[in-house]
Amino acid sequence: MILNEIIENILSASNIILVTHISPDGDAIGCTIAMYKALKLLKKDVKIFIDDDIPDVYKFLPNSDKIERPYDKNADIIVVIDCADKDRIGNAQELLKKDIISVNIDHHISNTLYADINYVDTNAASAAEIIYQIIKLLGINFDSDISTCLYTAIVTDTGGFMYNSTTAFTHEVAADLINNGAPVSYISDKIFHNITYNKIKLIGRALDSLKLYKNGKIACLEITKKDLDETNSKVSDIENIVNYGRDINGVEVAILLVEKDDEIKVSLRSKEKVDVNKIAQIFGGGGHIRASGCSLKNSLEEAKIQILNKIKDIINEG
């Protein structure tokens, strides 16, 4: 069994590097620092590399201060968590070329199985459900740090247990984490009831740009560089803004286009009908059926036309 192979490799390693995807979200951050704490309890030498900014809302998580930007370092094993493909690891992908055993633990349907050992469970609502099982198999007792990080990962990746990826097992894991010290309302307050004034202003800019297409089936939101600058925001502040489009009644697909330095970052969300992973993959991205993303090297206007046309075609076919 692949999980057992992963456990054996982790147990026999001394130096371990943990990495996750750029634009890290609650699942990415929660899982890597939960694993960090678990491996520290096993007296391992552990490093966490994330090649991007960490959104401020996750900085309350225990051990989030241990996250570093990637650099060249030797290790016995590199464990990549919640990351569908190599490019999403950013500069840390250099480590995959070295003579280090690589392990890929993920739940994305678009995963490209890029490591020496790959464990991809697309039925898991979050990577945290898999990390929970691994920490159990490692024989570690869940403390409040680990429980807080994994609960945060689950509650964010399931949209507060509302997405259709949520299962009875998701709730069983969450219940066990609460029993082991995850403080539910504290975590909710830190993540969901803790929006900065700047982020509200940024949301205002995005909502101002909102347009509907295809008889209200497609919602499109835009954030320009100017919006980011004038609201003192970073690209890492855009998390969840696309949901405003998705939540409009009648909307089947929501698009958020964000102007980055040399590319347009696209977030896609859908309700029941459209597989947005397929759309993102057409443009070299990926993700899940109901939540995906990609980046286009175009102007914002050109990227918008290309994405909109693809979605219109798919809605016409369906």
- Point out which residues bind ligand 5GP (CB under 6 A): 21, 23, 25, 84-85, 88, 108, 110, 267, 285-288, 291-295
Give which of Mn ion, ligand 5GP, none residue 159 binds (C-beta under 5 to 8 Å, depending on kind): none
Q: Which is nearer to ligand 5GP, 145 or 239 (CB)?
A: 239
CB of 125 to Mn ion, least distance (A): 8
Give the integer Cα–Cα distance in Å for 6 and 154. Answer: 22
110 contact choice in Mn ion, ligand 5GP, none (CB below 5 to 8 Å, kind-dependent): ligand 5GP
* Residue 82 in contact with Mn ion, rule: CB under 5 A: yes
**149 to 168, contacts with Mn ion by CB under 5 A?**
157
Euclidean distance between CA atoms 88 and 20, whole angstroms: 8
d(CA 278, CA 191) in angstroms, rounded, equals: 30
**Residue 179 C-beta: closest distance to ligand 5GP, Å:** 28
CB of residue 288 to Mn ion, shortest distance in Å: 8
Please tell me whether residue 129 binds Mn ion under the rule CB under 5 A: no
- Judged by beta carbon distances under 5 to 8 A according to partner kind, the member of Mn ion, ligand 5GP, none in contact with residue 84 is ligand 5GP
- Token pair, residue 163, equals 């997405």
Which residue, 13 or 84, has its beta carbon nearer to ligand 5GP?
A: 84
| Total residues binding Mn ion (CB under 5 A) | 4
291-296 and 264-270 beta bridge pairing: antiparallel
Residue nearest to ligand 5GP (CB): 293
Which residue from 161, 152, 111, 116 is spatially nearest to 132, judged by alpha carbons? 152
Beta-carbon contacts of 83 under 8 Å, excluding residues fewer than 6 positions away, are 19, 20, 21, 28, 89, 104, 106, 108
String marking each residue 8-37 x if it binds Mn ion according to CB under 5 A: -------------------x----------
Say how far apart CA 195 and CA 197 lie, in whole Å: 7
What is the closest distance, in whole angstroms, from the C-beta atom of residue 82 to ligand 5GP in the complex? 7
Three-state DSSP at 259 gives strand
Cβ-based nearer residue to Mn ion, 39 or 120: 120
| Residue 27 beta carbon to Mn ion: minimum distance, rounded to whole angstroms | 3
Instruction: Give the integer Cα–Cα distance in Å for 57 and 176.
Output: 24
- Reading the block at residue 233, the tokens are 């925001």
Helix (H) or strand (E) holding 266: strand 264-270
CB of 181 to ligand 5GP, least distance (A): 27
In angstroms, what is the minimal distance from the CB of 101 to ligand 5GP? 23
Q: 116 exposed, middle or buried (CB, 10 Å; 0-12, 13-18, 19+)?
A: middle
- Residue 292 binding target from Mn ion, ligand 5GP, none, CB below 5 to 8 Å by type: ligand 5GP
Q: How far apart are the first and last CA of the chain?
A: 39
Strand partners, 256: 221, 267
Give 134 or 228: the residue with its C-beta nearer to Mn ion.
134
What would the two tokens of residue 253 be?
Answer: 């697909």
Residues forming contacts to Mn ion in the complex (CB under 5 A) are: 27, 82, 127, 157
